[in-house]
Amino acid sequence: MVEFQRTDSNRTATILTSHGTIQTPVFMPDATYGTVQEVSMNDLDTIGTEALVTTTLHIEQKLGAEYLKQYGGAHKLFGWNKPLLTDSGGFQVFSLIHRNNNKQNLITEAGCSFIDYRDGSYNFLSPERSQYVQHLIGSDMRVVLDEPVIEDDSVSTITASVDRTTRWAKRSKQAFLQLNGLTEKDFNDPRIQRPLLTAVVQGANSFELRKRSADALIEIGFDMYGFGGLPLRNKYSWKEDAPKGFYHELISYVADLLPRDRIRYGLGMGTPDDLIYAYSAGWDIFDSVLPTRNARHGYLYVSKGSGDKSYGSYDVLHIKSERYKFDDGMIDPGMDNPPYPQVSRAYLRHLIRMKSGTGMRIATMHNLAFYQRLMDSLRKQQPDPART
């Protein structure tokens, strides 16, 4: 169940699940294999993390959905008593299939067949199988299987992806209803507590195909709608001065296509500036590996004026730099009461350079706390009626 509020703040919503509530906008760290690297579930709770994302395909490969069912579900195994979102596995399959040129890697109407390059095992993922695995995981928010494409792929390839994503979404929803013992009428009854189901809008960088995808998925009907593929401008253009990077116009356009009374999910977005813009455009929930992955490499997000490289709304601290060798200052002077052990920049530099677990933990907690506080600040913004 979702309750929207549009009075004292920008577009915000309360998502009610069987494992607690989520207040949007929200950033969800990626617990790819059932863990956010370098930090514990208690650390995440201390930071104020409201929900996690875990990866259906990797959980199935490493743990097995049947094992999770016998154990009592992912929440019990992970020791996480807050909401959990599972992706469909579609993006991971796309990455695996395109990572190596194996003729056994196929995407057909039935689903995705592929050989795992790491151990040579054969895998098959269909819309129904993805929903079954997510059901056994016991997640609070689930995603239907989609077919991602490269943003500058051919029109015919993108069109085929959009249409297959629609057909897979229908099959996914039917499997979801059957697994949860629901009818279509039950699905639309807000009094029935159940997991939320997310469809993914595809279409790469084509405005026309994004609309085609959104319209078809809305007709099927879902609780949440996601932006499929990273919203990046085409890598190549005949114009030397063509804009590059985050595709603001596209994510604004897609947000405006979606129902205002449904949650909009920005999959894989992104930097703090990306999230600020995406929220202003009407997106509600986000996830990305950026804050945790960058932390492990000594790339820290800090307040304006506190780092060595400046971006729109924040600075970056490259903590391994020689300039911090004798710096006894705080990691981020602009962060009040940071929820992690206090060390000097010089000492954190030493820990990260030595690849110390303690240093990785502090850096990861810092970046996640920065993102959490960004979400808190966005909730306090003044309303933009056109976007709510």
Catalytic positions are 87, 287
3-state secondary structure (DSSP) of residue 112: strand
- If we measure between CA atoms, which residue out of 136, 131, 135, 90 comes closest to residue 112? 90
β-pairing, 141-143 with 122-125? Answer: unpaired
What whole-number distance in Å separates Cα of residue 310 and Cα of residue 306?
9
Residue 215: how many CB atoms within 10 A of its CB? 12
Cα Rg of the chain (Å, integer): 21
Strand (E) or helix (H) holding 135: helix 127-137
Task: Render the burial of 162-200: b for 16+ CB within 10 Å, e for the rest.
Answer: bbbbbebbbbbbebbbebbebeeeebeeeeeebbbbbbb
10 Å CB burial of residue 110 (0-12, 13-18, 19+) is: exposed
- If we measure between CA atoms, which residue out of 106, 117, 105, 112 comes closest to residue 127? 112
Distances (CA, A) of 234 to 43, 207, 269: 38, 13, 17
What whole-number distance in Å separates Cα of residue 301 and Cα of residue 271?
9
Contact (CB, 8 A) for 109 and 76: no
For tokens 């790339």, name the residue.
299
What whole-number distance in Å separates Cα of residue 35 and Cα of residue 53?
10
Contact (CB, 8 A) for 314 and 272: yes
10 Å CB burial of residue 380 (0-12, 13-18, 19+) is: exposed
